[in-house]
Structure 1
Amino acid sequence: MNASVPSPLNANLILNSDSYKLTHYLQYPPGTEAIFSYVESRGGRFPRTLFFGLQMFVRDYLARPITRDMIEEAAEFQARHLPGAPFNRAGWEHILNRHGGWLPIRLCAVAEGSAVPVRQVLATVESTDPQVPWIGQYAETAILRAIWYPTTVATISWHIKGLIRRYLEDTAESLDGLPFMLHDFGARGVSSFESAALGGAAHLVNFQGTDTLAGAAAANRYYDAEMAAYSIPAAEHATVTAWGEEGELDAYRNMLDRFARPGGMLAVVSDSYDLERAVGYWSNELCDRVRASGATLVIRPDSGHPPTMVCRTLEQLAEGYGARVNAKGYRVLDGVRVIQGDGIDLDSIGEILAEVERAGFSAENLAFGMGGALLQRLDRDTQRFAFKASAIRRDGVWRDVSKQPRTDPEKASKPGRLSLLHNPEFGTWRTQREEDPLESGWRPALQCVYEDGRIQGQQTLAEIRARADAALETLAREDGGCSRS
């Protein structure tokens, strides 16, 4: 059978929008020459957003020009989807003929990895051709989606890193293990491969452990990393239960035979039948073999009340393997660790860390695997992202544009052509009009990342990580910055 394979749905940028935008080109006032818009987080769960992900969109979607075939496909689709509504053929053909299919917009954004307080401009979009002033607003759907989702994932991950860091500072002698203490388990819990790639890459701004292959591959490809993240051999329930309950001990021996090497690590989920019995195997029958291997064994208790089960597992392992007391006065297991991968989110991580500290164990004994709560249990309103037009040029004159709904003042938008400023000395940010004078100590914080087909200002993952870590250092110095609550 030689059935034709359709092109990917995301291949046509004209259809990467909302239905109602197909007719918006006819709705602007006479004399409209340009429209200026901005993106912001209007608030939400976190007081700061860690900006990330726009470069993936720019290097993928905006690197594909509009083609004749795309125009024809969109025209045919609209004729059936919006019967009777005129298709903007002249506008799209102007972009094709005048600009070679590249979108005539100027897209600027704050540097990725920046932790910016809410209600500040994060990105701006301005149309650059008076013949097609609608184009920036037409691209709203694709651009906003490219920003809000990875930025929200990066924000959640960054705040969790701050939380874990605070417990390490109190209970451990070093922060060396921090980059590997939150592992991405979210690939199977998201809605698409692309979500896994975008969200998985966003997590890797803050941590270096993942089981989301798509996220590591995306970070490598779009942010020029040689290898963005790492994992270790790990068992799943199927590879344990395949041996039968009577063969559980043999399943664990097999893991050690296959993967336990000097200096290496392996993780084994151990609640397939009876967690306490399984940890007993690890602490007794298998203890000498684990020690002799030179590997670090990571036990995963995957069911029950997480704080209770983690502490119980730590106590059992301490009896079998021993534990030293570090300089902070907390116990550190010898050659074994625990990873909790069930029921993990920001709140449960805090509860587990608090319970572990009360039990006298250092946070360095732990790692966490986070799935749906990291990549899927969030939406655009988690940080209340918005893309709004704020200025329009008509007959050569810029005019303010904003909405001020009396029924919901929280949804008021900002007027004018806007810029984001940063004061490096104090670590502060503010939004102001482009035409306002620049005061001493303040620097423009938006950089152009795309203009009329030219991709600019590309950033590496290493640069972004350094920026995010510096912001975390600043936050840690602030009173209550890395809150345990």
Structure 2
Amino acid sequence: MYTSNFSNLLLNIDSYKASHWLQYPPNTEYLSYYIEARGGKFDVVAFGIQAFIKEYLLKPITQQDIDDAEQVLIAHGLSFNRQGWQRLLDKHQGFLPLKIEAVAEGTVLPTSNVVCQITNTDPEFFWLAGYLETALLRAIWYPSTVASISYFCKQKIKQALLQSSDDLSGLSFQLHDFGARGASSLETVALGSLAHLVNFKGTDSVSALVAAKRWYNSNEMPAFSIPAAEHSTITAWGKENEKFAYENMIDQFAGENKIYSVVSDSYNLWNAVSHIWGEQLKEKVIEKGGRLVIRPDSGEPIEVVCRTLEILADKFGYRVNSKGYKVLPDFIRIIQGDGINSNSIEAILNAIMQAGFSVENVNFGMGGGLLQQINRDTMGWAMKASAICINGEWKAIYKDPITSQAKRSKKGILALTKSENEWQTVRIEELNDKENQLRTIFLNGKLLIDESFEQVRQRAE
């Protein structure tokens, strides 16, 4: 019977990796690989490598790992590098003889630039860097893509606020993570929501709070949420008692400096906004204090948001700010969490302003569009070998498929430079006197740079 141990690094691979040690040229000593996002509409926000190193690379491989991996991979129909792994255990006590360089996390840079580079440090283990491709690429592409989408949305919201608002103080709470239940696994939520928090401070993914402390030395609360209703807590009162369900939310959660959110489309959103909130409960909302955030949860987002704003302005009044846009009273706002993604959010922002309202009236929640509706091709992430050393001689290697120029890979051992706001990936021999933005963060089983989440956030700012 074979193992069921998910923590075995030797089994954290695509199957074909197990046979690659037999496929390199004779006398190969070193191989260098790099990771980049090859394209897409987002700038890259690098994130996730420290989490991966802490979770998977600081523990040595064990005899049990080797024995289990051999049993699984042989039975699976593959070869197994028993001698190589045994030698690694004996010579390096199971710690990986690798050097990993990466751009500082939270760095924002254009696509088509190296963000990570990995090379073996002991020529006996030339096959090792490539063996980690499956795990390492996944560890970078997923959280970096989420951070990049979140950053893109933040820039769009910021531009809209600059146009329509006198106050940018709420920007870091303008996009809230609703993605926990729609993500594919606990680790997906932890990594993805934490990546979102590089840019914002609102989440309903509690796993991200644990991840910030576990992987990024966070001793302060990195994000916040508020009491909020779901459909069951409204519909449990019955349709005929909808008003009392809302009134209970006021009684339980309203008050000075308090914020609470109430989903209001369980039945008829327009009746709820116009008559229940705007008439029957209007005085109580005002008198109790704090801020009521009304959440529509269905319909066409542009129509729903703009019509809700119009009704609330009619029922509760508004002021006109210095930019000429309407702002609802501070005690009432909207959060739109249905149908939000990197495409729709820009259209909704524009529609809000075209309707004459400031964007500060509306917060957004993003779920699947943030954490799940992405893949490796969203930004074209890839890890490729770019240099090999055979018999002491380094040479560049690359792919250049005639059928796809987009998949052409870079050549040589790479470096990353920055001049003003210009980023450039160059070969290491072309670095000259420029500073290499790739920093050695892992060397032979040790984490060399251990940053806080606040440092990552400050970089993204």
Same fold (TM over 0.5): yes
Give distance in 2, aligned partners of 1:359 and 1:24: 60
* 1:11-50, Cα deviation, whole Å (9 max, x unpaired): 100000111111111111111111011001111232x211
Native 8 Å contact 2:415 2:431 kept in 1: no
Can you list the C-alpha shifts for 1:298-322, whole angstroms capped at 9, x where unaligned?
Answer: 0001111111111111121122222
Instruction: Give the whole-Å Cα distance in 2 for the aligned partners of 1:468 and 1:7.
Output: 41
SS at match of 1:254: helix
Report the Cα distance in structure 2 between the residues aligned to 1:438 and 1:218, rounded to whole angstroms.
39
Which of 287, 290, 300 is equivalent to 1:292? 287
Do structure 1's residue 152 and structure 2's residue 145 form an aligned pair? yes
Q: Percent identity?
A: 49
Which letter maps to 2:321?
A: N
Q: What TM-score, normalized to structure 2? A: 0.97
> Aligned partners of 1:357 and 1:86: how far apart in 2?
62
Cα distance in 1 for residues equivalent to 2:157 and 2:459? 19
Number of the residue aligned with 2:94: 101
Matched, 1:264 2:258: yes
Task: Give the conservation status (yes or no) of the 8 Å contact 1:210–1:216.
Answer: no
The answer on whether the counterparts of 1:204 and 1:219 sit within 8 Å (CA) in structure 2 is no
Letter in structure 2 aligned against 1:233: P
1:45-60 paired onto structure 2 within 5 Å: 45-46=41-42, 48-60=43-55
Q: Which amino acid aligns with 1:42?
A: R
**More displaced, 95-104 or 198-207?**
95-104
Instruction: Show the counterpart of 2:394.
Output: 398
CA contact (8 A) 2:3 2:68 kept: no
Is 2:22 the partner of 1:29?
A: no
3-state secondary structure, aligned to 1:40: strand
| Counterparts of 1:224 and 1:364, CA distance in 2 | 32
CA gap of 1:204–1:246, structure 2 versus 1, over 3 A, is: same
Counterpart Cα distance in 1 of 2:89 and 2:185: 31
SS of corresponding position for 1:36: strand
| Cα pair distance change 1:233/1:8, threshold 3 Å | farther
The corresponding residue for 1:317 is 312
Which whole-Å CA distance do the structure 1 matches of 2:213 and 2:316 have between them?
38
Deviation of 1:456 after TM superposition, in Å, equals: 1.3
Correspondence 1:331 to 2:326: yes
When the two chains are superposed, the root-mean-square deviation of aligned CA atoms in Å is 1.3
Residue 91 in 1 paired to residue 87 in 2?
no
The separation in 2 between residues aligned to 1:437 and 1:118, in whole angstroms, is: 20
**Across the two proteins, how many residue pairs are aligned to each other?**
457
Kindly provide the amino acid, as one letter, of the partner of residue 100 in structure 1: Q
Instruction: Tell me if 1:66 matches 2:58.
Output: no
Runs of 4+ in 1 over 6 A off after TM superposition: none
- The whole-number CA distance in structure 1 between the counterparts of 2:281 and 2:310 is 17
Asked if structure 2 preserves the Cα contact closer than 8 Å seen for 1:197 and 1:215, the reply is yes
Residue in 2 that maps onto 1:188:
181
How big is each residue's C-alpha offset from its partner over 1:347-395, in whole Å with a ceiling of 9 and x where there is no partner? Answer: 2211211111111111101100101111111110110011000111111
The alignment's TM-score, normalised by the length of structure 1, stands at 0.92
SS of 1:10 mapped into structure 2: coil
Q: Secondary structure at the match of 1:107?
A: strand
Q: How far apart, CA to CA, are the structure 2 residues paired with 1:361 and 1:290? A: 22
Following TM superposition, by how much is the alpha carbon of 1:8 offset from its aligned partner in structure 2, in angstroms?
6.7
- Contact (CA 8 Å) 2:88, 2:95: kept in 1 or not? yes
Deviation digits for residues 45-71 of structure 1 (CA, Å, limit 9, x no counterpart): 32x211111111011111221011111
Aligned to 2:127: 134
What is the one-letter code of the residue matched to 2:106?
G
Counterpart in the other structure of 1:233: 227
Out of 415, 418, 423, the position equivalent to 1:422 is 418
Partner-residue secondary structure (3-state), 1:101:
coil
Moved more, 303-312 or 267-276: 303-312
Q: CA deviation at 1:216?
A: 2.6
Contact 2:3-2:72 at 8 Å conserved across structures? no
Amino acid at match of 1:339: I
1:72-124 deviation digits (Å, cap 9, x = unpaired): 11011112111xx4321111111111112111110110011111111111110
Cα displacement (A) at 1:221: 2.1
- Taking the aligned partners of 1:59 and 1:187, their CA distance within structure 2 comes to 23
| The one of 429, 433, 438 aligned to 1:435 | 429
Tell me the distance in 2 between the aligned counterparts of 1:409 and 1:303: 43
- Any stretches of 5+ residues in structure 2 without a counterpart? none
Q: CA deviation at 1:231?
A: 0.4
Task: Give the aligned partner of residue 441 of structure 2.
Answer: 449
**Residue aligned with 2:123, SS:** coil
User: In the alignment, which residue of structure 2 is the partner of 1:252?
Assistant: 246
- Tell me, in whole angstroms, the C-alpha distance in 2 between the residues paired with 1:452 and 1:415: 25
Deviations 1:146-201 (A, max 9, x none): 00000000000000000000000011112100000100011111111111111111
| Structure 2 counterpart of 1:467 | 459
SS state of the match for residue 429, structure 2? coil
* Amino acid in structure 1 at the alignment position of 2:230: E
Counterpart residue identity of residue 459, structure 2 = R
Contact 1:102/1:453 (<8 A) preserved = yes
Mapped to 2, the partners of 1:451 and 1:178 lie a distance apart of: 39
Q: Say which of 369, 376, 392 aligns to 2:372.
A: 376
Structure 1, gaps ≥5 residues long: 1-5, 470-485
CA distance in 2, matches of 1:273, 1:436: 65
Superposed displacement of residue 229, structure 1: 0.8
Instruction: Tell me the amino acid that sits aligned with residue 436 of structure 1.
Output: E
Note the C-alpha offset of 1:144: 0.2
| Distance in 1 separating the partners of 2:4 and 2:317 | 56
Secondary structure of the equivalent of 2:430?
Answer: coil
Distance of 1:389 and 1:179 partners within structure 2:
39
Deviations 1:315-353 (A, max 9, x none): 211222221111111111111000001011122211211
Is the 1:389–1:402 Cα contact (8 Å) retained in structure 2?
Answer: yes
CA drift at 1:460:
1.5
More deviation, 378-387/85-94: 85-94
Amino acid at match of 2:382: A
**SS at 1:463 equivalent:** helix
5 Å-filtered alignment, 1:2-13, equals 9-13=5-9
Q: Equivalent of 1:305, from 285, 300, 304? A: 300
Q: Secondary structure of the residue that 1:17 maps to in structure 2?
A: coil
Given that 1:220 and 1:228 are in contact with CA atoms closer than 8 Å, whether structure 2 keeps it comes out as no
| Distance (whole Å) between structure 1 residues aligned to residue 90 and residue 414 of structure 2 | 31
**CA contact under 8 A between 1:201 and 1:216: conserved in structure 2?**
yes
